[in-house]
Chain A
Amino acid sequence: MKRRTLLGVGAGVAAAAIVRHGTARAQVQNYPDKPVKLILPYAPGGATDMIGRPWADKLSQAFGQQFVIENRGGAGGLIGTEAAAKSPPDGYTLFLAPSAALTVLPLLRKTPYDPVKSFAPIARAGDLVCGFVLNPAVGPKNFQETLAYAKANPGKLAYGSAGLATASQLRLEMLKYRTQTDILHVPYRGSADALNDLLPNNVQMMNEINVLPHVKAGKLILLNINYPTRHWDFPDVPTLTELGYPDSDVPIWYSFQAPAGTPPAIIEKLNLKMNEIAATDDMKVKARMINVVIPPQTPEQMTQHLLADIKATDVLIKAANVKLE
């Protein structure tokens, strides 16, 4: 009796697997044949939205199906990331992952997802290109002078970040660690709040893309760029590597991820199309406008990139002793 039940169950499972396999193949050929949900783990209006909206538009055009953005904000990205990780792996729920949700959060907090195992990477969505800015009222005119000032006046400069455990905090921790300077970290609830205190010089430094228009207007000084290449709008501002601090960028990058178990053929299909879109002039212009570049990558390259970034972040967090108290 028992054995027969077991056999029956076994046959059932096998049959189900075959059926599922068959439908899976059909699914891939017709994919997508209904609207695709794109989860963003932050509230609408932020940098992630600015990257996600043009992507959703381009993908909808390319596939002839709506790519609908669903903002699932909360807990520094944790809630949206968890929701994405637990979505059905059928290709109809995708995740626009900010790097901090995969690299910083799992290292500082117990997360209900694993940054590597819970997701299948699809393609790179974009890298932010920005750097440290200084309020000109302080005095120094460039990176070196600011360093000298910080060394001469320990604890006097204050740096506004978008919050605890964000990439912008880690950028400061990296700078302090590599240059052995003492700069006060002041966490804000988002980069807009921080900018509001930077302009009247309540804090003196920031590292977020929303300050760049004010650099163009001459209200703030851009000291450097945290990216391998210079910013197209500020060709005179050197990168951190050029300034003598290699491997100190703390990259901020976005990627498309699918819940683990999504059929590889769907991922491949998406990857090809996404890299194709990223290479178009129109998308390049749209990306540059929001201070973003999109390096095309294969899913394998994405995995390597993610692993390397997690490792580097881990080293920094341990070395600089960053923690949520």
Chain B
Amino acid sequence: MELSDLLSNLSLGFSVAAKPLNLVWCLMGALIGTAIGVLPGVGPVATMALLLPTTYYLPPEGALIMLAGIYYGAQYGGSTTAILINLPGESSSVVTVLDGYQMARQGRAGAALAIAAIGSFFAGCVATVAIAVAAPPLTQLAQQFGPADYCSLMVLGLVFAIVLARGSVMKALAMVFLGMLLGLVGTDVNTGNLRFTFGISDLFDGIGFVPLVMGLFGMAEIMANMTNEERRDLVTSRVTGLLPTWADIKASTAPILRGTALGGLLGILPGGGAVLASFSAYTLEKKLSRTPERFGRGAIEGVAAPEAANNAAAQTSFIPMLTLGIPSNAVMAMMIGGMMIHGIVPGPQVMQDRPGLFWGMIASMWFGNLMLIVLNLPMIGLWTRMLLVPYRLLSIAILFFCCIGVYSLNNSANEVLFIAIFGLLGYLFFKLDCEPAPLLLGFILGPLLEVYMRRAMLLSRGDAMVFLTRPLSAAFLGLAVVLLVIVVLPNIRKAREVAFVE
């Protein structure tokens, strides 16, 4: 694309996005998004589905600007509960829990929230530019990925899960496998067979991510904290320093840059792309750090990088939707629904037929990110003060929001029953010192791995060499092996030393 074209497109976009009414819709979206992001369990998909009929009465630009605002607003809000009460609101904020909650327990919730917001803002701005400048070439890049490449990418992602473990590598590995097994529950896409459903029709589509997280994190955390005063007093008693120090910002700059780049690239891949983004950004920082032992114990880089990555990925996941009309996740499917309501058929022609809408939406993302940071930084004081609510009441509120959040997904009361089961399981994991984060990654990536593996085998007509002959796939597998060796070797050595000492 010519530079002059780009400039004229962007000026068109900004002229559309800066219309007062469109700014209002953008603000509305950002506000609603932040609110539902903060509410555990209530996610952007359910909210957008509920609000879709309302957008019918808005002009198409306004409707899409607002819907988009809900999505990236939720990314900002989602980290709030992850940091404050150890409850990830979205799959992409699972890693934020690891160090964010530790920071909160050390009384640094304010710094963690601020760095999450700053990282998200920076990543959002950069990714917006990336969409404007490079949407078509990035689309081309994503199209280079075949099923075999995706499969190997998932293998690499699972190795990341082991790296991010804070304690025993063996337990983390077992949790990954257990998570994959839980991910297989439901109807097998390739054959239609039912697996591990016990004849319960609510399990035919598998276990939902939200009930699993609400149980493993939300419910288990309440159970653990209700008796253990020492544990929760760490959270509630000391809230100092609302803003990050210069040292924090300096330590976070490079991780935010790297997280943005990684997230922006992975976001364009459909399916697990956005989730992989935050996990791999965390893994990268832990590997690059000179003091990896701080990770999982309140390292600010462990909040900055994944938050930047997930927001960058949230923005670039618009690319396949905008250029090809292909939704890369459920939220994008809702955006497409929003377009259809207004008589816009998503597909490659939107860019030419409706330039005002296309570029206006991209420009609005920049406004939205600006509004979000302006909104969120002053809110930090308020959020951290929430921790001063007595735990006997806070726990009840968390429980209720878990329940209503899960209910809101499918209006299904049975899914609320699942969180009771996963709560018990989560408490057992807590007592046995097994971290749930690797389990969640296995849960998300395991089924994708299987689907891509079988699709690759089907399309290669049974030739397993396809995983090694495709360059992308071979590169991912090679990287996975190297990483695995780096992680596991020191542990084996350590274990042997310990054994010898015994």
Within 8 Å of chain B (Cβ to Cβ): is A28?
Answer: no
Contact A45:B201 (CB < 8 A) given known A164-B189, A192-B327: no
Q: Across the interface, name the chain B residue whose C-beta is closest to A74.
A: B205
Within 8 Å of chain A (Cβ to Cβ): is B461?
Answer: yes
Contact A213:B345 (CB < 8 A) given known A79-B201, A324-B193: yes
Contact A210:B325 (CB < 8 A) given known A216-B349, A217-B347, A217-B348: yes
Q: Is the CB of A199 within 8 A of B53?
A: no
Within 8 Å of chain B (Cβ to Cβ): is A197?
Answer: yes
Q: Is the CB of B325 within 8 A of A76?
A: no
Within 8 Å of chain B (Cβ to Cβ): is A26?
Answer: no
Q: Is the CB of B327 within 8 A of A189?
A: no
A193 to B147, CA, bound (A): 11
Q: Is the CB of A186 within 8 A of B337?
A: no
Instruction: Tell which of A50, A73, A155 touches B205, judged by Cβ atoms closer than 8 Å.
Output: A73
- As a 0/1 sequence over residues 182 to 208 of chain B, the CB contacts with chain A under 8 angstroms (1 = contact) are 000001011111000000011011000
Query: Which of A54, A71, A74, A108 has the most B CB atoms < 10 Å from its CB?
Result: A74
Nearest CB in chain A: distance from B298 CB, A: 38
Instruction: Tell which of B49, B143, B455 touches A200, judged by Cβ atoms closer than 8 Å.
Output: B143
- Write out the residue numbers on chain B whose beta carbons fall within 8 Å of the beta carbon of A277: none
Contact A44:B52 (CB < 8 A) given known A54-B341, A78-B204, A188-B189: yes
Q: Is the CB of A53 within 8 A of B337?
A: yes
Q: Is the CB of A289 within 8 A of B345?
A: yes
A164 to B49, CA, bound (A): 26
Within 8 Å of chain A (Cβ to Cβ): is B346?
Answer: yes
Q: Is the CB of B189 within 8 A of A195?
A: no
- Write out the residue numbers on chain B whose beta carbons fall within 8 Å of the beta carbon of A283: none
Contact A289:B411 (CB < 8 A) given known A53-B337, A69-B53: no
Q: Is the CB of B193 within 8 A of A72?
A: no
Q: Is the CB of A56 within 8 A of B53?
A: yes
- Count contacts on B: residues with CB < 8 A to the other chain: 49
* Interface hits, A62-97 → B, CB 8 Å: 68-76, 78-79, 82
Q: Is the CB of A200 within 8 A of B144?
A: yes
Query: Which of B48, B346, B458 has the most A CB atoms < 10 Å from its CB?
Result: B458
A245 to B51, CA, bound (A): 44
- Write out the residue numbers on chain B whose beta carbons fall within 8 Å of the beta carbon of A286: 343
A54 to B56, CA, bound (A): 9
Nearest CB in chain B: distance from A309 CB, A: 21
Q: Is the CB of A187 within 8 A of B204?
A: no
Nearest CB in chain A: distance from B188 CB, A: 9
* Interface hits, B386-407 → A, CB 8 Å: none
Within 8 Å of chain A (Cβ to Cβ): is B45?
Answer: yes
Q: Is the CB of B204 within 8 A of A165?
A: no
- As a 0/1 sequence over residues 262 to 274 of chain B, the CB contacts with chain A under 8 angstroms (1 = contact) are 0000000011000
Within 8 Å of chain A (Cβ to Cβ): is B459?
Answer: yes
Q: Which of B209-217, B328-336, B369-377 contacts A (4 or more CB under 8 A)?
A: B328-336
Within 8 Å of chain A (Cβ to Cβ): is B227?
Answer: no
Within 8 Å of chain A (Cβ to Cβ): is B228?
Answer: no
Q: Is the CB of A45 within 8 A of B189?
A: no
Within 8 Å of chain A (Cβ to Cβ): is B410?
Answer: yes
Within 8 Å of chain A (Cβ to Cβ): is B132?
Answer: no
Within 8 Å of chain B (Cβ to Cβ): is A314?
Answer: no
Q: Is the CB of B411 within 8 A of A72?
A: yes
Instruction: Tell which of B45, B48, B451 touches A189, judged by Cβ atoms closer than 8 Å.
Output: B451
Within 8 Å of chain A (Cβ to Cβ): is B421?
Answer: no
Within 8 Å of chain B (Cβ to Cβ): is A316?
Answer: no
Q: Across the interface, name the chain B residue whose C-beta is closest to A80.
A: B410
Q: Across the interface, name the chain A residue whose C-beta is closest to B348.
A: A217
Within 8 Å of chain B (Cβ to Cβ): is A202?
Answer: yes
Q: Is the CB of B347 within 8 A of A186?
A: no
Q: Is the CB of B334 within 8 A of A45?
A: yes
Q: Is the CB of A196 within 8 A of B270?
A: yes
* Interface hits, B297-313 → A, CB 8 Å: none
Nearest CB in chain A: distance from B193 CB, A: 6
A196 to B193, CA, bound (A): 24
Q: Is the CB of A196 within 8 A of B326?
A: yes
Closest 5 A/B residue pairs (Cβ) = A213-B347, A45-B333, A324-B192, A75-B204, A44-B49
Q: Other CB < 8 Å A-B pairs besides A186-B455, A199-B143, A325-B192, 5 of them?
A: A44-B334, A45-B336, A56-B53, A213-B346, A325-B193
18 pairs of residues in contact across A and B, judged by CB atoms under 8 Å? A44-B334, A45-B327, A53-B341, A68-B53, A74-B201, A78-B201, A79-B205, A165-B192, A186-B458, A192-B326, A193-B271, A197-B147, A199-B326, A200-B144, A203-B459, A289-B340, A290-B345, A325-B191
